[in-house]
Amino acid sequence: MVEVTIALTARDAFQGRNSARLAFTASQFECEILLASGAWAANAKDVMEVLRLSARAGTQIRIQAVGPDEAAAIITIAALLRGEALPKAL
């Protein structure tokens, strides 16, 4: 299991299109990916659960991944939540 906590810096990271992009990106990995903010947790591969988090910039988000490609998943999801360009190859 790999876990990292980051400060959400991407504007509107959990709103509409960005939630769909995050869920689509997460579904490309074999591992299980969980996002947590306060008392709320969401399966990163489920767009409705990601939307429910509705965290704003500055919120601390914990990303947990368990599985064969967990390190790559953490790096990619963290980049999305920070509003950074996605890594080209891992």
Whether 64 maps to a domain, the answer reads: yes
Query: 81 pLDDT exceeds 70?
Result: yes
Whether 87 maps to a domain, the answer reads: no
- Domain hosting 37: range is 2-82
How many domains does the structure of the chain reveal?
A: 1
In tens, the pLDDT along 1-29 reads 999 999 988 776 677 788 888 999 999 99
Whether 89 maps to a domain, the answer reads: no
* pTM of the predicted structure, to 2 decimals: 0.88
pLDDT over 70 percentage in the chain: 91
Q: Is the alpha carbon torsion for 46, 48, 52, 57 positive or negative? A: positive
Whether 90 maps to a domain, the answer reads: no
* CATH code (residue 36): 3.30.1340.10
| Number of neighbouring beta carbons within 10 Å of residue 47 | 19
